[in-house]
Homo-oligomer: A and B are copies of this chain.
């Protein structure tokens, strides 16, 4: 199909499609003349994946580029590739404030203790470990260190349950591109789904705890 049809099918403007090709997010179409290229179904699917990561997942163009590079690299073994895809969709935080901070040092210990307590194995440099430590340190820095203590194990229980159904879903998608795609989609969109559900559950829990009728 021509670029105009690709644009209509995906709702992404021609200028944006050309930008994604220049930025290496989307493979170029096959040139059929010096000024015209032809696109396939794979472009439609890839474009929708890109837009979902940007619009719903809030990923930057640079982060999307890293994720699609992992999807497109046939050299990596399966589990390494899955880990790379998952790691790339974990935001890398700068830390709250510019000082390195005792709170972050303490938060890293909190995370290590939690992992040991739950029996979760993870490599020391998994970005999610530092992401968790930064969030826990930020809670401490805004005077809500008590929140971590109050909720961390209940959150971990809930995360275990969610991760189990996530991985069961991923395990059903066997084709290589689809497997990575389902990790990315499940991670990014799964966060959005869970965050929205948590808000809706808050309304309900708040109604029950505070007795507020709407």
Interface residues of A (CB under 8 A from B): 10-13, 45, 48-49, 51-52, 55-56, 58, 79, 82-83, 86, 90-91, 93-99, 101, 115, 118-123, 126-129, 131-132, 134-136, 138-139, 141-144, 146-148, 150-152, 154-171, 181-182, 185-187, 189-207, 209-210, 212, 214
Contact = CB atoms under 8 A, between A and B. Distances in A.
B55 A199 contact: no
Given A193-B136, A194-B194, A142 B205 contact: no
Contacts of A167: 202, 205-206, 209
Contacts of A55: 93-97, 138
Contacts of A200: 115, 120, 122, 126, 128-129, 132, 159
B139 A185 contact: yes
Copies in the complex: 2
Contacts of A150: 165, 168-169
A196 B127 CA distance: 9
A197 B132 contact: yes
A142 B52 contact: yes
A192 B159 CA distance: 12
Nearest to A57: B138
Contacts of A141: 48, 51-52
Contacts of A197: 128, 132, 155-156, 159
A201 B138 contact: no
A198 B191 contact: yes
A40 B119 CA distance: 45
Contacts of A99: 11
A198 B154 contact: no
Contact of A161 (B96, B148, B154): B154
